[in-house]
Amino acid sequence: MKTDTVISAKDLSLTFQTGDGPVHALKDVTLDIAKGDFVSFIGPSGCGKTTLLRAMADLEHPTSGTMTVNGTTAEEARRARAYGYVFQAAGLYPWRTIAGNISLPLEIMGYDKAEQARRIQRVLELVELEGFEKKYPWQLSGGMQQRASIARALAFDADLLLMDEPFGALDEIVRDHLNEQLLKLWERTNKTICFVTHSIPEAVYLSTRIVVMSPRPGRISDVIESPLPRERPLDIRDSPEFIEVAHRVRDGLRAGHSDDV
């Protein structure tokens, strides 16, 4: 394990016991994620990408193998508030303003009022929502709500950001815009980001590494290092390099599927 490894999974397996017998959500997954990486997890539904992310967050408990986050167990990392987690739904509380929603984790973690206010301003600026602090969630569009939820995950300065299909419910145009913003944000904050998606262009556009997964049992079928530069304008998606990486991802997905299609 290198010193700048943030997440390390070794021979990780996770089995759910269901009425229809055991479901192998993850089987023998081994993966290291380095500090500052933007790693996307892509695969068809049932491939365990979300389960893997939830295991990093200590929301699921592996049946065997080890998972370390920042050199500690996933549970210790969660207790130390080592990561911010963004869910598919924004999950903002309707009875709190945008500022109130962002201060929610800060209140829980015991920051004082002045520090809360300072951090709310900083993260609102990061997601370009300045001036919306007094609005209620229903007054914002879906894309803005999701940005507020990202701001909330950033507010307590965790170095690790775990994102579970955060833009999955948004339309293409909003999604492009948010992808661009997310890259800018990653550039400025130098965080490590794990990003679950089922969109190939999204994964290729955002990531430094793409983890391709396949189902039954959930496993990693390919890990692709992106040759794209860190600086990525939207039209990089028409470049030959981009198209080549996208091809490799598609091939990886097809290979994982070949046994049951």
Partner 1 sequence: MRQATLPILTVVAAIFALWYLGAVWLNSDWAYDKAVRLDKDLTFSEMVIDTWSQDKPKLPAPHQVAAELWDTTIDKRITSKRSLVYHSWITLSSTLLGFVLGTGLGIALAIGIVYNRTMDMSVMPWVIASQTIPILALAPMIIVVLNAIGISGLLPKAIISMYLSFFPVVVGMVKGLRSPDNMQLDQMRTWNASPTQTFWRLRLPSSMPYLFTSLKVGMAASLVGAIVGELPTGAVAGLGARLLAGSYYGQTIQIWSALIMAAVLAALLVATIGMVQRATLKRMGLS
- Point out which residues bind partner 1 (CB under 8 A): 57-59, 78-79, 81, 83-85, 87, 89, 91, 93-95, 104-105, 107-109, 136-138, 156
CA angle 192, 157, 138 (to 5 degrees): 100
Q: What are phi and psi of 63, to 5 degrees?
A: -75, -40
| Whole-number Å distance between alpha carbons of 141 and 178 | 13
Cα-based distances in Å from 216 to 51, 67, 206? 13, 21, 27
Nearer to partner 1, 164 or 222 (CB): 164
Nearer to partner 1, 67 or 249 (CB): 67
Q: To which H or E segment does residue 22 belong?
A: strand 21-34
Smallest distance from the beta carbon of 35 to partner 1, in angstroms? 20
Nearer to partner 1, 105 or 252 (CB): 105
Nearer to partner 1, 160 or 228 (CB): 160
Strand duo 160-164 + 192-197: pairing: parallel
Q: What is the dihedral of CA 124, 203, 11, 87, to 10 degrees?
A: 40
Smallest distance from the beta carbon of 231 to partner 1, in angstroms? 31
Smallest distance from the beta carbon of 58 to partner 1, in angstroms? 8
Nearer to partner 1, 156 or 199 (CB): 156
| Whole-number Å distance between alpha carbons of 102 and 130 | 13
Give the orientation angle of helix 142-154 with respect to helix 113-126, to 10 degrees.
130
Smallest distance from the beta carbon of 20 to partner 1, in angstroms? 21
Nearer to partner 1, 16 or 93 (CB): 93
Smallest distance from the beta carbon of 161 to partner 1, in angstroms? 11
Smallest distance from the beta carbon of 196 to partner 1, in angstroms? 14
| Whole-number Å distance between alpha carbons of 92 and 72 | 30
CA angle 177, 179, 181 (to 5 degrees): 70
